[in-house]
Amino acid sequence: MTSTLNPPATSTTVQVPTTRVDAIAKVTGQARYAAEYDLDRMAFGFIVQARIARGTIVAIEDAVALAMPGVLAVIDYRNAPRLSDAGDAELQLLQSERVYYRGEVVALVIAESSEQARAAAEALPISYAEADHDVLFRTDHPEIYTPEKVNPNFPSESSVGNVDGAFDAAEVRVQAWYSTPAEHNNPLEPHATTAQWDGDELTVYDSNQGASSVHSTLCKLFDLPRGRVHVRSEHVGGGFGSKGSARPTVVLAPMASKLLDRPVRVTMTRQQMFALVGYRTPTIQQVRLAADHTGRLHALDHLAYSQTSRIVEFAEQTAVMSRVMYATPNLRTRHRLLALDVPTPRWMRAPGEAPGSFALESAMDELAAELQLDPVELRIRNEPDFEPDGGRPFSSRNLVSCLLEGSDRFGWRERDPRPGIRRDGRWLLGTGVASSTYPARNAPSSCAITARADGSFEVRITAADLGTGARTALTQLAAESLGVGLADIELRIGDSDFGQAMIAGGSMGTASWGWAIDKAARQLRGQLDASGGAVPPEGLSVTSNTRAEIDAQADVVRHGFGAQFVEVAVDPRSGEVRVPRMLGVFAVGRIVNPTTARSQLIGGMTWGLSMALFEESIMDVEFGDYLNHDLAGYHVASNADVGAIEVAWVEEHDEQTNPTGIKGIGEIGIVGTAAAIANAVWHATGHRQRALPIRPDRILNSANAAG
């Protein structure tokens, strides 16, 4: 099923499976990415990274590199242009001799070719005064503190009722610790920037999730008026949060280009990305649940620890999900943070909700087992009528519909609840369930539309398509709002000259951009109707901005919801876990393009499988670095690991989300997936897995401990 929200009776573009409008350009190589703009007299920069985890640079023998073939310059803290404050200390590149973490940028070597730049960078002698470092994340560290806010702007703590009193008095109690490791983004396209100056005017071709956001940062860093900076990111090869803000290449390339007065390209290697573009923080979480014998929650307590760097505070909102999920009169969420000599963690698909759901939804499964109650029924019994934390109404909430629809599709009701009894040859079989949620936000965005004399329309908006299909969905929305066909729309995105717009992040890109497009289209249609449809030879243009409407939105809770069902097979002799079957059912507002929506949800669920079984960045405490910083050592799910995945969505009409009825779908697919797999592993083996990833050694160790 798909959803509708009062679509025009004549609409034939939205909610229709549609091939990507940029498909031919991508498969034929016509689509250009940030490192594919070949400018005259191009030079190439290669990043030099710190080889200590903390200390200061004592000497850089740049003469060694400058004497090598093709080398044009070496930039370091001694000769780098001075940068202004842009609100992110990690972007103050090459401004100081201090080293805050291993892998930090300490120099840039520029040469006539990328090979020459890399060779010289690797040969550049740098000596350091090394200081003691601390990279060990733990809950008993004496410098643990409580941040004021967590990402993006939530209070760090919340409390309703008397959690401790309710927990002590409860008939049934569950209390457990859960942990998730550091995980690293690995989009297919590495971070890259091509920069060129024309006098005091800067143009960059950059791989990012929001050209207008990067534009604002560059204006601040280089003290430039807005009209003198142009950021182009027409095609982007993935991001998942790692490109959600300006990263080092977009600062270094302009610095080098200014110094040499010629275009410069800086591209990161896969290994460099592990230190320089963010990652998902490791977490250690405690969840306490108190209930009566019927399964009604009396208390929910969620405490989450995470890490940050010493130069930028990033506090993941790990426990915030627990503020909206289940009805309880006593609810408390808390966050604790530890600053270490490590790179700054940043956004990674469903920051907060992905690790937080593993703990909460695992604990709910443990409570169901303690009560001998079906896990689906337990969740339904604790469905809230309003936001448990703040008391606000939900704009729409269809979690129960997702659970019931998923139960029917998955065959859940035939499940034997007893763990460790189903077999298929050597394999132990189990099934698990977990709930999903993700906020359905909107952010102010602007759009311009021009009606042409030939009857076509040009739509300009600083959106970003990371491979999600946003370009196609926005074309569909524009065609619907203007009452024309897809062929009548020329959509232009990824250019900061088009004005301020939300980044592709937080699952609010398409919703925010679609709102701006719809507003501009309505304004334009009004002008066309007033003029009898006449369009002057130069065209008729309108611009829109949705800030006023978004600021005036009612104070309600806007979320998408879903239910994840999985089946696993576990080999008790080897500890291997396989996932032959997954089902996700979601209530995520109006689906613009069923083809790309299905792809996004499958992608999220696949990543959740990868999170559950494989992904883990391993810190060498003495060395101060993540050891497995490449795709040989950092394991992700591949084709052989992924079985059948089915995706469905329930009909949802939500007139309070935005005029288009859209809720974001980019992140909800990963939320709850790891918990569903862990719960299924318990059902298969009878042993609970509270630490991710669920490696073979952990399966074997839990069996040995129990036996």
pLDDT digits (tens, 9 = 90+) for 16-59: 999 999 999 999 999 999 999 999 999 999 999 999 999 999 99
pLDDT tens profile 174-190: 999 999 999 999 999 99
Task: Indicate if 667 belongs to the active site.
Answer: yes
**H/E/C letters for each residue in 2-55?**
CCCCCCCCCCCCCCCCCCCCCHHHHHCCCCCCHHHCCCCCCEEEEEEECCCCCE
Residues 283, 278: Cα–Cα separation, whole Å: 15
Q: Is 178 within the bounds of a domain?
A: no
What residues form DSSP beta bridges with 434? 564
What's the whole-number average pLDDT of the chain? 96
Are 27 and 71 in a shared domain?
no
pTM of the model: 0.97
Residues 327, 336: Cα–Cα separation, whole Å: 24
Would you place residue 3 in the very low, low, confident or very high pLDDT band (cuts 50, 70, 90)?
very low
Q: Is 268 within the bounds of a domain?
A: yes
Is it the case that residue 1 has pLDDT exceeding 70? no
Is it the case that residue 163 has pLDDT exceeding 80? yes
Q: How many C-beta atoms lie closer than 10 Å to residue 480's C-beta?
A: 26
pLDDT tens profile 498-514: 999 999 999 999 999 99
Q: Is 525 within the bounds of a domain?
A: yes
Q: What is the pLDDT of residue 522?
A: 97
pLDDT tens profile 512-522: 999 999 999 99
Residues 6+ apart with CB under 8 A from 157: 146, 332, 333, 334, 335
Question: Domain ends where: 218, 244, 276?
Answer: 276
From the list 443, 152, 179, 166, the residue with the least C-alpha distance to 320 is 152
Catalytic-role residue among 104, 567, 616, 667: 667
Asked if 437 and 325 touch (Cβ cutoff 8 Å), the reply is: yes
3-class secondary structure, 311: coil
Q: Is 362 within the bounds of a domain?
A: no
Provide mean pLDDT across the span 330-356: 98
Are 27 and 45 in a shared domain?
no
What is the full DSSP assignment across 63-117? HHHHTSTTEEEEE-TTTSPP----S-GGG-TTS-SEE-STT-EEEEEEESSHHHH
Are 27 and 38 in a shared domain?
no
Q: Is 309 within the bounds of a domain?
A: no
Asked if 344 and 314 touch (Cβ cutoff 8 Å), the reply is: yes
Are 27 and 89 in a shared domain?
no
Question: Domain ends where: 247, 276, 305?
Answer: 276
Asked if 653 and 661 touch (Cβ cutoff 8 Å), the reply is: yes
What residues form DSSP beta bridges with 338? 307
Half-sphere exposure of 227 (CA within 13 A, CB side): 0
Where is 258: in which H helix or E strand?
helix 248-260
Q: What is the pLDDT of residue 11?
A: 58
Are 27 and 124 in a shared domain?
no
pLDDT tens profile 412-451: 999 999 999 999 999 999 999 999 999 999 999 999 999 9
Are 27 and 95 in a shared domain?
no
Phi/psi of residue 99, nearest 5 degrees: -120, 125
Higher pLDDT, 706 or 558: 558
Q: Is 568 within the bounds of a domain?
A: no
Q: Is 416 within the bounds of a domain?
A: no
Are 97 and 193 in a shared domain?
yes
pLDDT tens profile 219-228: 999 999 999 9
Are 65 and 27 in a shared domain?
no
CATH (domain of 27): 3.30.365.10
Number of domains comprising the chain:
2
Would you place residue 12 in the very low, low, confident or very high pLDDT band (cuts 50, 70, 90)?
confident
Q: What is the pLDDT of residue 8?
A: 42
Asked if 72 and 117 touch (Cβ cutoff 8 Å), the reply is: no
Q: What is the pLDDT of residue 9?
A: 44
Provide mean pLDDT across the span 311-316: 98
Would you place residue 5 in the very low, low, confident or very high pLDDT band (cuts 50, 70, 90)?
very low
Is it the case that residue 354 has pLDDT exceeding 70? yes
The residue segments making up the domain with residue 505 are: 23-31+443-551
70: left (phi over 0), alpha (psi -120 to 50) or beta: left
* Residue matched to tokens 């690991």: 641
> pLDDT above 90 covers what percent of the chain?
97
Are 523 and 489 in a shared domain?
yes
User: What's the sign of the alpha-carbon dihedral 207, 213, 214, 215?
Assistant: positive
Asked if 664 and 505 touch (Cβ cutoff 8 Å), the reply is: no
CA angle 89, 93, 97 (to 5 degrees): 95
Q: Is 53 within the bounds of a domain?
A: yes
pLDDT tens profile 665-680: 999 999 999 999 999 9
Are 27 and 93 in a shared domain?
no
Would you place residue 701 in the very low, low, confident or very high pLDDT band (cuts 50, 70, 90)?
very high
Question: Domain ends where: 276, 307, 332?
Answer: 276
Would you place residue 706 in the very low, low, confident or very high pLDDT band (cuts 50, 70, 90)?
confident
Are 59 and 27 in a shared domain?
no
pLDDT tens profile 69-99: 999 999 999 999 999 999 999 999 999 999 9
Is it the case that residue 635 has pLDDT exceeding 90? yes
Residues 469, 264: Cα–Cα separation, whole Å: 30
Are 128 and 52 in a shared domain?
yes
Provide mean pLDDT across the span 265-279: 98
What is the full DSSP assignment across 364-422? HHHHHHHHT--HHHHHHHT--SS-TTT-PPBS---HHHHHHHHHHHHTGGG----TT--
